[in-house]
């Protein structure tokens, strides 16, 4: 378990419907009509929009039309750790990393 959240980057939830739509050969326009949703909403989800506030009703309609569970359409993206130090076990001396010509 991680430490308590204190305002740092905590990652994000992303919606990706493009793969499922391609698998079913469903266009954005068709999904808009079938879900009674605005094109810009479907377009954001298709491009992998970060969810700030989820419209569960729209997500439910998308799941219904695409006949798939919600977890197939969204995922958690870990926070980016720019200042993170690599683990010591991942670091290898240059001699050990490349096999020598004598071996």
Q: Which helix (H) or strand (E) holds 74?
A: strand 74-77
CA dihedral angle for residue 63, residue 44, residue 35, residue 75, rounded to 10 degrees: 10
- pTM as predicted: 0.68
pLDDT at residue 18 above 80?
yes
Alpha-carbon gap, residue 74 to 60, rounded angstroms:
12
More confident call, 2 vs 17 = 17
Name the average pLDDT for the chain: 80
Q: Are 8 and 18 in contact (CB under 8 A)?
A: no
CA 87 vs CA 1, 40, 52, 90, 98: distances in Å: 19, 43, 33, 5, 19
| Residue 63 φ/ψ, nearest 5 degrees | -60, -40
pLDDT in tens, 43-100: 989 988 777 777 899 999 999 999 999 999 988 888 875 444 444 444 444 444 445 4
Are 13 and 79 spatial neighbours (Cβ–Cβ below 8 Å)? no
Q: Which CATH architecture has domain 12-77?
A: Orthogonal Bundle (1.10)
Work out whether strand 12-15 and strand 74-77 pair parallel, antiparallel, or are unpaired: antiparallel
User: What tens digit of pLDDT does each residue of 22-59 get?
Assistant: 999 999 999 999 999 999 999 989 988 777 777 899 99
Q: Where are the domains of the chain?
A: 12-77
CA atoms within 13 A on the CB side of 36: 4
């Amino acid at each position: 378990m991680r430490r308590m959240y204190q305002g740092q980057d905590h990652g994000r939830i992303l919606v990706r419907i493009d793969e499922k739509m391609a698998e079913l050969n469903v266009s954005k326009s068709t999904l808009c009509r079938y879900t009674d949703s605005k094109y810009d909403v479907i377009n954001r989800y298709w491009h992998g929009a970060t969810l700030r506030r989820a419209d569960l009703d729209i997500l439910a309609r998308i799941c219904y039309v695409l006949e798939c569970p919600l977890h197939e359409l969204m995922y958690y993206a870990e926070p980016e750790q720019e200042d993170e130090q690599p683990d010591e076990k991942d670091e290898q001396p240059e001699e050990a990393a490349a096999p020598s010509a004598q071996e």
